[in-house]
């Protein structure tokens, strides 16, 4: 379990696949209306409070965002406010608005572009480069699971929220934006 607190009201907890096994939960099973999910949330908040040296009251109003990680783990983002809440007002939001595809080589990227994967879904896809690695971000596909299956033939794919996609947009070099796969085919 990795715990980070970039701000007083913000905590990021990364759970490995092993952490998820020990907590007896999967990303797919997470639902704040479930007592098991609440048990996991309280457990990780308690651990974070001990490491950060402050009390983290689960009765505070908070937004909890969950994002799956490759290999079975997940990242939990906690944003807390000072307002106490009545039962049932804390929400768990699962993020998977984007699909990130990491390519091993230009050849595999070109093959994906050649097939024009996800073109039928008419989704925005942008290509970035960093240190000789290529990353395609497919934004808000209507059927993210189908798109992931089709792209996984050419790249290592994972669902992600806006945080990881924005990080890539900010720190990687843009190559083609909007409809990158079709742009590559036109070059």
Q: Tokens 């000789």 identify what position? A: 132
pLDDT for residue 183: 79
pLDDT in tens, the chain (187 residues): 999 888 888 899 999 999 999 999 988 888 877 888 889 988 999 999 999 998 887 777 788 888 777 677 888 888 887 655 555 455 555 555 688 899 988 888 888 887 765 454 456 789 999 988 999 998 765 666 777 888 888 899 888 777 778 888 888 999 988 888 777 777 6
Give the CA dihedral 47, 50, 53, 54, nearest 10 degrees: 70
- The verdict on domain 98-186 having CATH code 3.20.20.70 is no
pLDDT for residue 70: 66
Residue ranges covered by each domain of the chain? 2-94, 98-186
pLDDT for residue 129: 92
pLDDT for residue 10: 87
Query: How far is it, in rounded angstroms, from Cα 11 to Cα 30?
Result: 18
Residues paired with residue 128 on neighbouring β-strands, in sequence order:
135, 174
pLDDT for residue 149: 80
Instruction: Please report the sign of the dihedral spanned by the C-alpha atoms of residue 16, residue 22, residue 27, residue 32.
Output: negative
């Amino acid at each position: 379990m990795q715990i980070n607190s970039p701000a007083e009201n913000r905590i990021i907890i990364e759970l490995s696949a092993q952490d998820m096994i020990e907590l007896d939960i999967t990303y797919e099973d997470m639902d704040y209306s479930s007592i098991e999910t609440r048990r996991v949330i309280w457990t990780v908040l308690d651990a974070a409070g001990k490491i950060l040296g402050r009390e983290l009251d689960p009765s505070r109003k908070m937004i909890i965002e969950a994002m799956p990680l490759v290999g079975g783990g997940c990242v939990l983002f906690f944003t807390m406010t000072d307002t106490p809440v009545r039962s049932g007002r804390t929400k768990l939001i699962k993020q998977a608005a984007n699909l990130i595809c990491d390519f091993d080589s230009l050849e595999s990227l070109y093959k994906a572009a050649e097939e024009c994967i996800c073109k039928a879904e008419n989704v925005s896809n942008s290509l970035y480069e960093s240190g000789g690695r290529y990353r395609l971000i497919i934004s808000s596909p209507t059927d993210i699971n189908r798109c992931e299956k089709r792209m996984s033939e050419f790249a290592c794919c994972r669902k992600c929220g806006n945080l990881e996609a924005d990080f890539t947009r900010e720190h990687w070099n843009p190559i083609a934006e909007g409809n990158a796969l079709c742009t590559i085919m036109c070059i």
